[in-house]
Amino acid sequence: MKLIIDLSKISIVRTLQNVQDSQSYDNEPDPIYIGQNAIISGADFISCSVKNNWSWITDRDIALLRYTLRNNLILKMPLHLGVGQTREDFDKLLKSVLKHSPKICTLVESQDPKRQSIDVTESFDELHLIIQNLKDSNILPSVMIEPKSDFVKDAHRLGLKIIEISTQTLCNEINTPLGEQEAERLKKTLQMAKKFNIFTILSGGINLSNINEIKNFNNIGAVSFGQTFFTRSVYHGITKATEEIKKSLIQ
């Protein structure tokens, strides 16, 4: 089971940069260091979310991460940018992603962290064109979905070999009736992915308190940690935080 460190909370580091005196500003602490250190300490991939205004992570950050991490970079790109955004804005963002050529590009619904999962059935035609663009650039395409078997079938029809499945609801409702229903849906979704030989990534709400429940499912290819990584890094440092999370996956 592979470990993905999600740097979507990188805005925390940007805040620390911006409080410095402008004359002494030297890009410290540098977000690139976080990604590099996490990989050295045992992470298999680094994941970053891009926005059309580059407010979370900059174009410069992505370029350096791609250069230093080589084939260990995953970029998440919104399918819909939001109110007031045009097709030209989307094409510009897609062009930038293609330029950086990450190993994997995961398409998410929107720039809102609370609205990431895509209705693959509803967006099938729109996804098909973008996925072909990614494939033509030798980028492995993926989509973020809710645990639903029909979405896996549509992902297979799109020719996807990787999907990212949201575990946010399951993690929020563990040991509740809703959580049990969500666990059953996830189990069936993973089984369907196995049938089509699709690599699965679980993300959303996963931490060291619930990882034991999560990792017991079959056919999990990778697990993504975000908030837990950053909070533990504050107390223990990047290296130890990564090592602890990695250890939790193999115990």
Q: What pLDDT score does 7 carry?
A: 86
Q: Which fold has domain 2-250?
A: TIM Barrel (3.20.20)
Which region, left, alpha or beta, applies to residue 8 given φ > 0 means left and ψ of -120 to 50 means alpha?
alpha
Mind giving me the DSSP string for 8-42?
GGGHHHHHHHHTS-GGG----S-HHHHHHHHHHTT
Can you tell me the distance from the alpha carbon of 191 to that of 201, in angstroms, rounded to the nearest whole number? 13
Q: What pLDDT score does 53 carry?
A: 57
Q: What pLDDT score does 150 carry?
A: 96
What average pLDDT does the structure give for the chain?
Answer: 88
- Provide mean pLDDT across the span 238-244: 95
Q: What pLDDT score does 62 carry?
A: 87
Instruction: Tell whether the model's pLDDT for residue 63 goes beyond 50.
Output: yes
Q: What pLDDT score does 60 carry?
A: 83
Residue % of the chain over a pLDDT of 90: 65
- Provide mean pLDDT across the span 144-168: 97
pLDDT band for position 124 (cuts 50, 70, 90):
very high
Q: What pLDDT score does 1 carry?
A: 93
Q: What pLDDT score does 10 carry?
A: 64
Instruction: Tell whether the model's pLDDT for residue 140 goes beyond 60.
Output: yes
Query: Which comes out higher in pLDDT, residue 15 or 160?
Result: 160
Contacts of 67 (CB under 8 A, 6+ apart): none
Kind of pairing, strands 199-203 and 162-166?
parallel
Q: What is the pTM assigned to this prediction?
A: 0.91
Element counts in the chain: helices (H) and strands (E): 11, 8
pLDDT band for position 100 (cuts 50, 70, 90):
very high
Instruction: Tell whether the model's pLDDT for residue 82 goes beyond 80.
Output: no
- Provide mean pLDDT across the span 82-103: 86
Instruction: Tell whether the model's pLDDT for residue 25 goes beyond 50.
Output: no
- Provide mean pLDDT across the span 79-91: 77
Query: Which comes out higher in pLDDT, residue 220 or 71?
Result: 220
Instruction: Tell whether the model's pLDDT for residue 73 goes beyond 90.
Output: yes
